[in-house]
């Protein structure tokens, strides 16, 4: 490789999503020359097809409970959130007033405007953002410090040399093989409600230079239940086909039995359903739940839709059922034990009304009888948005080796950080933003 193939900069960012571009813009504001590369044709990653809600929980105590990951990493999100919002406002990013989102709060921002503004900041400081560029490998010096990466673009191969490198490729939800290896064998075939380009490049790049996979034992993932079957051929279908109301409903396995505490949230119900027979469940809700939860916005500002009608229009297996007999009949048609399912539903409502402490699995949340006809019955499946396993990192966003020591010159942000959440969830965009800013702070402080 001759000198014409070398590009030097202060900071190399691999990945042009929320974490990577936010990190790049923050560093560029301080005068750093930043090179951002991404293998996708367009910038934005999964952020650009999200709803743009930047939210999280208000305390580290709450984060420990609902995020369930490494407390130090969760604290980066919570403690860094207010400064991150101040930073967005300082950049004139359009955002809504505060919204309640799930068990936290936050803002809906102009996500496309923010990402474009980040690109402009990088370019204004003399850097570049280059899509359709593959990172072949990280480059290290004789002491093991990461000093950049070898990249390939349609115009040729370029070695990018940098004082620091940030991995921010968005996780590995786009890789069927890695999903099966690190999540569950059933995860190989589940739908992807995310961008298809996050296929584990960051994980592979990092481990090749000594990075360590975070505690990978049953790390879970963030996703939701969708109707089955479902075609996610356009991001506009992600939300409308998602069954957010499963937390107020009853889920049955193929044997007609409940298998989880549905009230803990649809994102957890998706993880529980993944491990069931065929990774399928039957979701049943009554007219009361339809009126009080389905036909009301799950998140402020997002209009509700008739979930069953939309699912049926997509060819999903579901039905409006005047009685529980009809639920049982359809359940049999779809490969579930209808008689057992009917018995479970009858027993569930009776126990909720008379002796809820005897429910198994128990219900931690709202106790809602499910006995006001007509009923909606819908076969559901889990779909994945982003992964929880990833590279081990500390609260300065430094990649760690197997001994827990920082790898010089290498930082991690966004979904490539492992164990920020562990079978829990408290805002993907907030985690990407706060870790991106933390990585930029560490990188520019090291210059």
pLDDT given for residue 352 in this prediction: 96
Q: Report the alpha-carbon distance of residue 143 to residue 191 in Å, rounded.
A: 43
pLDDT given for residue 445 in this prediction: 87
The DSSP secondary-structure symbol of 126 reads T
| Same domain as 419, residue 369 | no
**Non-local CB neighbours of 188 within 8 Å, separated by 6+ positions:** 176, 177, 179, 180
Q: Report the alpha-carbon distance of residue 353 to residue 363 in Å, rounded.
A: 13
Domain count, the chain: 2
H or E element that contains 345? helix 338-354
Left (φ > 0), alpha (ψ -120 to 50) or beta: where does 419 sit?
A: left
CB atoms closer than 10 angstroms to residue 2: 5
**Non-local CB neighbours of 405 within 8 Å, separated by 6+ positions:** none
Q: Report the alpha-carbon distance of residue 316 to residue 331 in Å, rounded.
A: 13
* CATH number, domain with residue 327: 3.90.700.10
| Same domain as 280, residue 169 | no
pLDDT given for residue 152 in this prediction: 97
Distances (CA, A) of 421 to 204, 267, 296, 362: 20, 12, 28, 24
Average pLDDT, the chain: 95
pTM for this prediction: 0.94
pLDDT reading at 302 higher than 80: no
Residue that is last in its domain, among 384, 409, 437: 384
Q: Report the alpha-carbon distance of residue 348 to residue 359 in Å, rounded.
A: 7
H or E element that contains 108? strand 104-108
Owning domain of residue 70 = 3-216+388-445
Question: What number of CA atoms fall less than 13 Å from residue 215's CA on the CB side?
Answer: 11
Give me the residue label for tokens 């809906």.
108
How much is the average pLDDT of 58-66?
A: 95
pLDDT given for residue 11 in this prediction: 99
| Same domain as 243, residue 167 | no
Structure tokens at 175: 């890789």
Residue that is last in its domain, among 338, 363, 384: 384
| Same domain as 357, residue 284 | yes
| Same domain as 424, residue 286 | no
Helix-then-strand count for the chain, H and E? 13, 16
pLDDT given for residue 296 in this prediction: 83
Report the candidate in 167, 110, 121 with the shortest Cα–Cα distance to residue 439. Answer: 167
Q: What is the β-pairing status of strands 6-14 and 34-37?
A: parallel
> What are the backbone angles phi and psi of residue 346, rounded to the nearest 5°?
-65, -45
| Same domain as 156, residue 274 | no
* CATH number, domain with residue 113: 3.50.50.60
How much is the average pLDDT of 291-296?
A: 92
Structure tokens at 17: 């999503």
Distances (CA, A) of 376 to 183, 239, 251, 308: 30, 19, 12, 7
Q: What is the β-pairing status of strands 398-400 and 375-387?
A: unpaired
pLDDT reading at 1 higher than 60: no
Q: Report the alpha-carbon distance of residue 258 to residue 282 in Å, rounded.
A: 10
pLDDT reading at 191 higher than 60: yes
| Same domain as 196, residue 295 | no
> pLDDT grade, residue 301 (50/70/90)?
low
Structure tokens at 212: 């360590």
| Same domain as 87, residue 22 | yes
| Same domain as 428, residue 299 | no
Encode pLDDT of 15-54 as tens digits.
999 999 999 999 999 999 999 999 999 999 999 999 899 9
Residue pair 285/248 in contact by the 8 Å Cβ criterion? yes
Q: Report the alpha-carbon distance of residue 71 to residue 60 in Å, rounded.
A: 8
Q: Report the alpha-carbon distance of residue 419 to residue 416 in Å, rounded.
A: 9
| Same domain as 94, residue 202 | yes
How much is the average pLDDT of 276-280?
A: 98
**Non-local CB neighbours of 184 within 8 Å, separated by 6+ positions:** 274, 275
Residue that is last in its domain, among 368, 384, 400: 384
Distances (CA, A) of 308 to 22, 301, 325, 430: 38, 21, 19, 31
pLDDT reading at 160 higher than 80: yes
H or E element that contains 408? strand 406-412
pLDDT given for residue 3 in this prediction: 43
Encode pLDDT of 332-383 as tens digits.
999 999 999 999 999 999 999 999 999 999 999 989 999 999 999 999 999 9
pLDDT given for residue 4 in this prediction: 53
pLDDT given for residue 380 in this prediction: 99
Residue pair 328/341 in contact by the 8 Å Cβ criterion? yes
User: For every residue of 164-226, which 3-state class applies, written as one string?
Assistant: EEEECCCCCCCCHHHHHHHCCHHHHHCCECCCCCCCCHHHHHHHHCCCCECCCCCCCEEEEEE
pLDDT given for residue 343 in this prediction: 98
| Same domain as 309, residue 206 | no
pLDDT reading at 169 higher than 60: yes
Left (φ > 0), alpha (ψ -120 to 50) or beta: where does 116 sit?
A: alpha
| Same domain as 310, residue 270 | yes
SS3 for 287?
helix
pLDDT given for residue 303 in this prediction: 80
Residue pair 13/35 in contact by the 8 Å Cβ criterion? yes
């Amino acid at each position: 490789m001759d000198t014409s193939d070398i590009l030097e900069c202060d900071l190399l960012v691999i990945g042009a999503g929320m974490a990577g571009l936010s990190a790049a813009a923050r560093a560029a504001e301080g005068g750093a020359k930043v090179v951002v590369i991404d293998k996708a044709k367009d910038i934005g990653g999964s952020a650009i097809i999200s709803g743009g809600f930047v939210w999280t929980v208000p305390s580290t105590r709450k984060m420990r409970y609902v995020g369930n990951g490494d407390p130090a990493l969760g604290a980066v999100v919570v403690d860094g959130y207010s400064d991150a919002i101040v930073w967005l406002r300082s950049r004139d990013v359009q955002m809504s007033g505060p919204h309640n989102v799930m068990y936290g709060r936050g803002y809906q921002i102009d996500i496309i405007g923010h990402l474009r503004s980040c690109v402009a900041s990088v370019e204004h400081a003399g850097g570049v953002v280059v899509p359709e560029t593959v990172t072949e490998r990280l480059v290290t010096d004789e002491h093991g410090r990461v000093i950049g990466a070898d990249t390939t673009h349609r115009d040729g191969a370029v070695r990018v040399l940098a004082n620091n490198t940030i991995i921010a490729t968005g996780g590995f939800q786009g890789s069927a093989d890695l999903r099966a290896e690190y999540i569950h064998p059933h995860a190989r075939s589940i739908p992807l409600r995310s961008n298809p380009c996050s296929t584990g490049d960051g994980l592979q790049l990092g481990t090749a230079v000594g990075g360590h996979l975070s505690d990978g034992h049953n790390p879970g993932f963030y996703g939701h239940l969708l109707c089955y079957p479902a075609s996610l051929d356009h991001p506009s279908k992600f939300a409308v086909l998602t069954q957010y109301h499963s937390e107020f409903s009853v889920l049955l396995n193929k044997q007609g039995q409940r298998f989880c505490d549905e009230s803990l949230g649809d994102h957890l119900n998706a993880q529980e359903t993944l491990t069931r027979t065929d990774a399928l469940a039957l979701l049943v809700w009554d007219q009361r739940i339809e009126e009080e939860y389905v036909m009301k916005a799950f998140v402020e500002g997002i209009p509700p839709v008739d979930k069953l009608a939309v699912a049926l229009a997509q060819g999903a297996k579901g039905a409006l059922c005047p009685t529980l007999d009809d639920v049982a009949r359809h359940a049999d048609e779809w490969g579930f034990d209808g008689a057992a399912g009917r018995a479970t539903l009858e027993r569930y409502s009776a126990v909720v009304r008379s002796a809820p402490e005897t429910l198994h699995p128990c219900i931690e949340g709202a106790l809602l009888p499910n006995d006001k006809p007509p009923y909606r019955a819908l076969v559901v499946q889990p779909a994945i948005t982003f992964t929880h396993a990833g590279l081990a990192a500390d609260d300065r966003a430094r990649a760690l080796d197997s001994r827990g020591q920082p790898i010089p010159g290498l930082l991690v942000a966004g979904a490539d950080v492992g164990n920020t959440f562990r079978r829990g969830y408290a805002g993907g965009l907030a985690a990407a933003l706060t870790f991106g800013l933390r990585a930029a702070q560490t990188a520019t402080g090291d210059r």
